[in-house]
């Protein structure tokens, strides 16, 4: 992969993804293997006059050792300096850039029950800080080609060839060739136009059907709005793109209003392991039955993380013409796979999908039907024959999706 292409990609992440502004602090989270690419990101941040760039390095092997040797009590606690760092995030609202390149099987073997207990305990500490920052800072998630990830996707290639092929897939689906910044301006415009069409319909529910057994009705909050592409921060109105790539129009469904069965169409990479061949049955908005061919116990653990984990937090519409779907690669990464297919998320809902959300408290938004949870887990449900029919405020039925793509 040409270094010049990677430098342009770093520019896209900094200028269109995070949209770093002069004088801002930036935190980058990345795998140790991505040192060279992270240096490109750091330099680009300083080129746009960032004040300070800090890197938080992560590594699957270190995480596995932590969960192997530390006690639940140790894993559940946070030191004073960690609390002060969270307060710094609240006070300073630094830009966050997350670079994912993890091995889909990298954390396999971790004691998942131990991990769940630790995450549940830490969430009680994290939640007040997270609530204070919600919608107020710029952030973006993008990908870099890691060796183990590349070999998972292309096992018959040598490591360098596999990485190069994965890099090409990342740049292609991220619209990161040619005039990158212009590509994203045009892409954001197309997505926002599709979201506008959806919002003009005044939808109150969506009915999904597919030959694979999906037959699900999802209620929508009356004042919800579909979002797509980039979004603006609440306090400073800075536009940024949280996901590179992105192909979805999404909104937050109404907690307590989902009935029927939905069948997942792609494996789910969750906590470093794969869940596959799974389905959910909903009643009054809650998952009341489920199954999986692979890792059903881990799926159950996910659903039991907290009271809100069995309720929906997002519905997202992605047509089968998505570049990711057309590429025909299963990435084993939610960032990519969710943008290949219509998907649903269990757990936390997005408050900024509610019209005039800035005029309400989080508690008021929860009362409207925005789900609260410590998790937000996307799973893919789109098929080539999927049909989605929306019901409007006045009871009119409108076909939104037909044969897996837009009908409006």
Taking the CA of residue 320 as centre, how many other CA atoms within 13 Å lie in the half-sphere pointing to its CB? 14
> What are the pLDDT tens digits along the chain (408 aa)?
899 999 999 999 999 999 999 999 999 999 999 999 999 999 999 999 999 999 999 999 999 999 999 999 999 999 999 999 999 999 999 999 999 998 888 888 899 999 999 999 999 999 999 999 999 999 999 999 999 999 999 999 999 999 999 999 999 999 999 999 999 999 999 999 999 999 999 999 999 999 999 999 999 999 999 999 999 999 899 999 999 999 999 999 999 999 999 999 999 989 888 899 999 999 999 999 999 999 999 999 999 999 999 999 999 999 999 999 999 999 999 899 999 999 999 999 999 999 999 999 989 999 999 999 999 999 999 999 999 999 999 999 999 999 999 999
Long-range contacts at 60-66 (CB < 8 A, ≥ 24 apart) = 60/31, 60/102, 60/103, 60/106, 60/107, 60/272, 63/107, 63/110, 63/272, 64/107, 64/109, 64/110
- For the chain, the farthest-separated pair of C-alpha atoms sits apart, in whole angstroms, at 59
Q: Where in 225-352 does DSSP place strands (E)? A: 227-228, 231-232, 239-240, 249-251, 253-263, 268-270, 273-275, 279-283, 286-291, 312-317, 343-347
In the chain, what are the domain boundaries? 3-173, 200-406
DSSP conformation letters of 73-91: HHHH---HHHHHHHHHHHH
Measured CA to CA, the distance from residue 59 to residue 115 in angstroms comes to 16
Distances in Å between the Cα of 41 and the Cα atoms of 46, 54, 275, 305, 327 are: 9, 11, 33, 35, 27
Q: Domain spanning 3-173 has what CATH number?
A: 3.40.1830.10
3-state secondary structure of 235: coil
What number of other Cβ atoms are within 10 A of residue 261's Cβ? Answer: 16
Instruction: In whole angstroms, give the CA distance from residue 167 to residue 32.
Output: 17
pTM, rounded to two decimals: 0.94
């Amino acid at each position: 992969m040409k270094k010049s292409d990677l430098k342009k990609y770093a520019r896209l992440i900094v200028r269109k993804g995070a949209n770093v502004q002069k004088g801002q602090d930036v935190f980058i989270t990345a795998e140790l293997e991505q040192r060279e690419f992270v240096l490109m990101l750091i330099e680009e941040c300083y080129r746009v006059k960032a004040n300070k760039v800090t890197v938080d390095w992560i590594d699957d092997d270190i995480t596995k050792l932590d969960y192997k040797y530390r006690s639940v009590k140790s894993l559940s606690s946070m030191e004073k300096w960690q609390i002060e760092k969270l307060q710094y995030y609240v006070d300073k609202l630094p830009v966050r850039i997350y670079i994912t390149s993890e091995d889909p099987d990298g954390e396999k073997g971790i004691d998942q029950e131990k991990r769940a207990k630790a995450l549940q305990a830490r969430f009680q500490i994290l939640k007040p800080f997270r609530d204070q920052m919600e919608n107020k800072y710029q952030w973006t998630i993008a990908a870099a080609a890691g060796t183990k990830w590349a070999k998972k996707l292309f096992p018959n290639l040598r490591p360098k060839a596999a990485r190069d092929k994965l890099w090409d897939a990342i740049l292609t689906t991220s619209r990161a060739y040619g005039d990158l910044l212009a590509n994203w301006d045009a892409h954001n415009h197309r997505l926002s136009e599709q979201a506008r069409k959806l919002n003009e319909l005044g939808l109150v529910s969506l009915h999904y059907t597919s030959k694979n057994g999906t037959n699900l009705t999802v209620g929508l909050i009356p004042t919800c709005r579909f979002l797509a592409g980039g979004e603006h921060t609440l306090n400073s109105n800075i536009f940024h793109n949280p996901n590179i790539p992105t192909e979805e129009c999404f909104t937050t469904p109404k907690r307590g209003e989902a009935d029927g069965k939905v069948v997942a169409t792609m494996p789910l990479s969750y906590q470093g392991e794969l869940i596959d061949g799974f389905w959910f049955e909903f009643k009054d908005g809650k998952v009341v039955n489920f199954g999986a061919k692979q890792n059903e116990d881990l799926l159950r653990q996910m659903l039991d993380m907290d009271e809100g984990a069995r309720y929906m937090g997002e519905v997202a519409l992605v047509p089968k013409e998505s570049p990711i779907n057309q590429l025909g690669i299963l990435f084993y990464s939610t960032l990519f796979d969710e943008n290949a297919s219509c998907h649903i998320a269990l757990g936390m809902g997005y408050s900024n999908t509610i019209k005039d959300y800035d005029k309400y408290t989080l508690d008021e938004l929860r009362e409207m039907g925005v789900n609260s949870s410590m998790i937000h887990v996307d799973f893919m449900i789109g098929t080539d024959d999927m049909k989605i029919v929306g019901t409007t405020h006045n009871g009119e039925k409108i076909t939104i999706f037909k044969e897996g793509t837009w009908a409006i």
